[in-house]
Chains A and B, each alone.
Chain A
Amino acid sequence: MIVFLLLVAGCAELPSASYADGRLESSAVPTPSAAATEIPESDEKEPVVNEEIDPNALRICLDVGQGLAYTERDLTVLELKIADAIKMADGPENIIFDSIPLEGSEREIALERIRTEIMAGEGPDVFIMTAKTVDALFPIPEKAMQEGIFLTLDDYIQNAELGDWDNLTQPVLEAGRTEEGQQLVPMLYTLPVTVYPKESVPEIPPVGTTWQDMLADESGILRRAALMHRFESGGLEMLSEDSVLSVLGELVNYETGEILFSEEDLLHVMKALLTLEEEIDTEGVAGLPEYFQGRLNRLPMLTLRSEKVLSMNRETPVTMIPVYSLNGDVLATVRAYTGINRNTKHPKEAFFVVDYLMSTQAQQTLKLFHGFDGLPINEKVLSEEYPQRDGGDLYLIDENFEALGNIRNQISKVYFDNSLLRAIRSPYYTGQGIQSSEITDQTLEGLVSETYDALKQILGE
């Protein structure tokens, strides 16, 4: 008995991740805030906090990143607007928000608290999450789906009243599905694209185009689109690391726990991308039509009334070219999603929220859909008929909306942005350092080997 107790005591010393980071000091537990029926008069108002949690209230866990909320006050305003919109749609009135603080030790504590609650069969009823790659409640949403954390929504979707479920981008929606059925519902997604004026590049390449085809393009137009490269104009630093994911295309099978590319594949792609980047740096862009590169969201589609990218503006018809994978896939990444706790005591009310979020109206008006990096899953939105409303109408002209449809139709692989994807793409920058000899104590082969080992660990946990 004594031995048993001593051993258990020893194991109890195992630190949590936060402890090991030296951040688990405070015992303060943030309490969920009630969604007041009144929206504060101004942003200056302090967040409303209700110490007594009504067990009958619908508890919504909101985790949004920078972009949607920069301060806790922004978060409170966002909560209130969501609650208000749900009430306006005749949804549940008794709502409590359990938003995860944006940063710091309070965030760590909230994450641990909610994880523990979920483990105990409790926790929030609805999750509205932006896909974070660090410090996320669900570091790998696909794995959380496999663990039976979320309610299967198929029966509810069949009887949905508000959501425009038939007009959601199907390959993206499928990313939230397991063998059991629909577990999570993606809200926003992105994919890397290069935008050319249509007069220079009339058509998107056909389905089946591969990355090798892009590299072999003699005009240089597809070759240039084969890599998301630094682009200083417009104040954006383009994410060349996204290209690693797009070129690999098939990344992982969460159901079988397999990585779908080999260490050699990763090394090959890294080398090829780094070489291409060097070549592009040397060649420059002379002789190419003007272009814009970035994640497919509103900006590269020139929806902002005041935004102008190079000489292109909203009225300029454009062609959008994705990065094709080695196998010809077009990869999209889910950037925000929603789901329902399988142990919820209010499944109907919870689904009302999810259903509402999938409505055309919600995706047009809620800041959740136009304040964050990503394209709404509802395919009607952003057309001239269904613009997003953010102090003005945001839409694509008909020709460009068709171009958007063309690229949507080519999406063939979709993953949630998660810690595994981050582990695949983030070594790219170290690779740049190795390539440019700024980093001398590591080789590309060693980097890729370490990355691959880490991927196996992440996937196996």
Chain B
Amino acid sequence: MRKTYHAYLLIAPLMVGCLLFYIVPFVLILRHSFLRGSGRTAQFLGLENYVEVIGSEVFALAFGNSMKFLAVGLPLIMLFSYLIALLLQHQVDRHKLLKSVFLFPYIMPVVGSVLLINLLFTEAGLVNSLLSVLGLPVQQWLRGTHAFWVLILLYLWKSTGYSAILLLAGLITIPAEQYESADLDGASGWQKFRYITTPQMWYSVFFAAIFAVINAFKCFREIFLIGGEHPVDALYMLQHFINNSFSNLNYSKVAVASVLLLVVTVVFFGVFYAFVSRKEAFRE
């Protein structure tokens, strides 16, 4: 009993912080999503705001683009970062500097990233110069549908290293003896990956995926600086919708969009977590 009391005491500051700074604001946002106006004159509208936002073409565009960005970016970043982590798995102690180098793009200031994108992809940028030299037609990379892929590239460049480090942290906890035993048994590389690495990596993959999603949302800073408040349709993300709606004092839309975003991500990660838990249960 005393131990439990101590435990609660220790986590109390964190829980109070969570309650004050996350749970209470979220409840307020949830409340706002059912209202029109604010304060004591707010009117309860039920699900009207949800119906309006879900039926909105602009929300659909923003939501669709954000989900497309995650649907394309997340698998790619997980694939590349896993490959890099696997390559580094047995080199960790030999190339310590390499880990830091992978984090350089991640810690680069937003303005630096944007300058780099402009240097490469504007009309007179290096990519178009190269295309001209090769006799190929130049493209408007930051306009139209190309812009989306430029952003995916930016996301991969910035965040792959970070995800790789997270996965690497998981990989190095796998005892080397297991691989040595497998070698003695004549297991191939693929078999070692499938039967030793993968089953022990689910939690790491799960957390790497969470951070990859967080980093995808962070990419909005670059998107905003490249495309402005109202970029071409291909770059119009949920954060544009939420930010601009707040500037327009359209609080109900802000609230509804935030709640829907949270619901979708929690459902996605809930399902993913259930899958991972089941996989990990086999281990235990």
Q: Interface readout for B114-129 with A: 1 if CB under 8 Å, 0 if not?
A: 0000000001000000
Would you call B247 and A15 a contact (CB within 8 A)?
Answer: no
A257 to B211 alpha-carbon distance, docked (Å): 37
Would you call B210 and A6 a contact (CB within 8 A)?
Answer: yes
Partner among A5, A19, A457, A461 whose Cβ is within 8 Å of the Cβ of B250: A461
Would you call A461 and B266 a contact (CB within 8 A)?
Answer: no
Inter-chain contacts of B270 with A (CB < 8 A): 3
A111 to B209 alpha-carbon distance, docked (Å): 36
Would you call A119 and B57 a contact (CB within 8 A)?
Answer: no
**Chain B interface, >50% SS class:** helix
Q: How many A-B residue pairs have CB under 8 A?
A: 145
A38 to B134 alpha-carbon distance, docked (Å): 74
* A10-B214 contact given A149-B37, A454-B230, A456-B57, CB 8 Å threshold: yes
Would you call B243 and A16 a contact (CB within 8 A)?
Answer: yes
* A3-B220 contact given A138-B249, A149-B249, A461-B248, CB 8 Å threshold: no
Would you call B38 and A11 a contact (CB within 8 A)?
Answer: no
> Within the complex, what minimum Cβ distance (angstroms) separates B106 from chain A?
13
Q: Interface readout for A117-139 with B: 1 if CB under 8 Å, 0 if not?
A: 01111100000000000000011
Partner among B22, B43, B230, B242 whose Cβ is within 8 Å of the Cβ of A5: B22
Would you call B248 and A140 a contact (CB within 8 A)?
Answer: yes
A342 close to chain B: CB less than 8 A:
yes
A115 close to chain B: CB less than 8 A:
yes
Inter-chain contacts of A122 with B (CB < 8 A): 39
A342 to B266 alpha-carbon distance, docked (Å): 36
Would you call A3 and B273 a contact (CB within 8 A)?
Answer: yes
Q: Interface readout for A445-456 with B: 1 if CB under 8 Å, 0 if not?
A: 010001001101
Inter-chain contacts of A17 with B (CB < 8 A): 224, 229, 243-244, 247
Inter-chain contacts of B278 with A (CB < 8 A): none
B111 close to chain A: CB less than 8 A:
yes
A143 close to chain B: CB less than 8 A:
yes
Partner among B36, B37, B217, B233 whose Cβ is within 8 Å of the Cβ of A14: B217
A9 close to chain B: CB less than 8 A:
yes
Which of B90-98, B161-169, B251-259 participates in binding chain A?
B251-259
Would you call A148 and B41 a contact (CB within 8 A)?
Answer: yes
A441 close to chain B: CB less than 8 A:
yes
Would you call A14 and B111 a contact (CB within 8 A)?
Answer: no
Within 8 A of A (CB), among B190-224: 210-211, 213-214, 217-218, 220-221, 224
Inter-chain contacts of B26 with A (CB < 8 A): 8
* B contact residues, range: 35 or more
A89 close to chain B: CB less than 8 A:
no
Would you call B246 and A457 a contact (CB within 8 A)?
Answer: no
Q: Interface readout for A12-39 with B: 1 if CB under 8 Å, 0 if not?
A: 0111110110100000000000000000
Would you call A10 and B213 a contact (CB within 8 A)?
Answer: yes
A450 to B261 alpha-carbon distance, docked (Å): 27
* A148-B37 contact given A7-B213, A7-B265, A119-B249, CB 8 Å threshold: yes
* A148-B36 contact given A454-B230, A461-B250, CB 8 Å threshold: yes
B42 close to chain A: CB less than 8 A:
yes
* A15-B221 contact given A7-B262, A441-B140, CB 8 Å threshold: yes
A260 close to chain B: CB less than 8 A:
no
Would you call A115 and B56 a contact (CB within 8 A)?
Answer: no
> Within the complex, what minimum Cβ distance (angstroms) separates A6 from chain B?
5
User: Across the two chains, which residue of chain B brings its CB closest to A14?
Assistant: B239
Inter-chain contacts of A139 with B (CB < 8 A): 247-248
A94 to B160 alpha-carbon distance, docked (Å): 59
A11 to B224 alpha-carbon distance, docked (Å): 15
* A120-B38 contact given A14-B243, A461-B244, CB 8 Å threshold: yes
* A119-B251 contact given A7-B214, A15-B224, A148-B37, CB 8 Å threshold: yes
Within 8 A of A (CB), among B158-197: none
Inter-chain contacts of B247 with A (CB < 8 A): 17, 115, 139
A441 to B122 alpha-carbon distance, docked (Å): 11
A178 close to chain B: CB less than 8 A:
no
Taking A13-B218, A118-B249 as known contacts, 10 extra A-B pairs with beta carbons closer than 8 A to each other, sorted by chain A number, are A6-B211, A6-B214, A22-B110, A147-B36, A343-B39, A454-B230, A456-B58, A457-B240, A460-B57, A460-B58
16 contacts between A and B (CB under 8 A): A7-B213, A10-B217, A14-B217, A15-B239, A20-B221, A20-B224, A20-B225, A119-B38, A121-B40, A138-B249, A140-B248, A149-B38, A453-B232, A453-B233, A461-B245, A461-B248
